[in-house]
Chain A
Amino acid sequence: MALDQASFESLLREHQAMVFSLAYHFFHNQAIAEDVAQEVFLKLYENLHRLESPAHVASWLRRTTTHRSIDYLRRGHVRPEVQLEELPETPDLPGAADPLLHERLRRLVASLPQIPRLVVLLRYGEDLDTGEIARVLKLPVRTVWSHLYRALALLREKAARYLGEEAV
């Protein structure tokens, strides 16, 4: 089924949450996320004729969002990522039901290096398996596993206190 400009709006509404979320969690910044998301959909508009089907659109959007996000960083629009190790220790907060836990996790993820950050986002935000992540990022599966393992280890270390887990 050929895609055309008439189907663009329905595709936009169907996938806007996915694109925006990826960008938002990558930058942890709503304004930048909207900027990047708009660019992604405008590129979709220009390239609709090259996409074979609606199913193809979803994977194309994920790929384009990750590439656009990395480009955006490289263009210097965003201040350099803060290294996880530089994040200040937060004071102890009571119990497992930490209302700020998710926000804290989001900030931690947003401070990961670019590729491990994307691996985590695609794994836990988009629920992709490592094979799918490898295709989106054009990396070997082994490399994806390696990034995921190290990112989780780092996140566990930094968030152990809030998760009630032992740091590894």
Chain B
Amino acid sequence: MSRLEDELRQALRRREPPAGFAERVLARAHPRESRRPSWFHWRWLAAAAALMVLVVGLYFFEERRRRLEGERAKQQVMLALHLTGSKLRLAQQRIQRFIGPGAAFQD
């Protein structure tokens, strides 16, 4: 190995930064932490976004389920009214048979 290379190694050896360098870096790093969220905060943001998507999805699912339930209930109401009406009509027909064909009935 040549003398030049030896001298270069010595000339270019590592040197410590000026005193307080680390503290100055840390001081600059911490304000940045509040300005720009760290990777840790981004994960929470992603988790919050995913949760919101889930909640919105569940809301729409629940709305659809309620609507289907309402439709089914509506059909059952109409069926109930028709069923009740048919039994009332049946009862009236029995009155007609009982009283006789001559009576004036509402129909």
Binding site for B on A (CB under 8 A): 4-5, 8-9, 12-13, 16-18, 20-21, 24-25, 30, 33-34, 37-38, 41-42, 45-46, 48-49, 101-103, 105-106, 109, 120-121, 124-125, 127, 152, 155-156, 159, 163-165
Contact = CB atoms under 8 A, between A and B. Distances in A.
Interface string B12-47: 111111100110111011001100101110000000
A5 B12 CA distance: 31
Contact of A20 (B2, B7, B15): B15
Contacts, number: 99
B5 A124 contact: yes
Contacts of B32: 42, 45-46
Contact of A16 (B9, B21, B36, B40): B21
Q: Is the interface of A mostly helix, strand, loop or mixed?
A: helix
Nearest to B38: A5
A164 B39 CA distance: 55
A156 B4 CA distance: 7
A17 B14 CA distance: 6
Contacts of B104: none
Nearest to A164: B3
Interface string B79-93: 000000000000000
Contacts of B2: 156, 165
B21 A20 contact: yes
Contacts of A121: 12
A162 to B, nearest CB: 9
Contacts of B25: 12, 16, 37-38, 41-42
B39 A49 contact: yes
A21 B11 contact: no
Given A45-B29, A49-B38, A106-B11, 14 more contacts: A17-B17, A20-B21, A21-B13, A33-B17, A34-B18, A34-B21, A49-B40, A102-B11, A105-B7, A105-B11, A109-B12, A155-B4, A155-B8, A165-B4
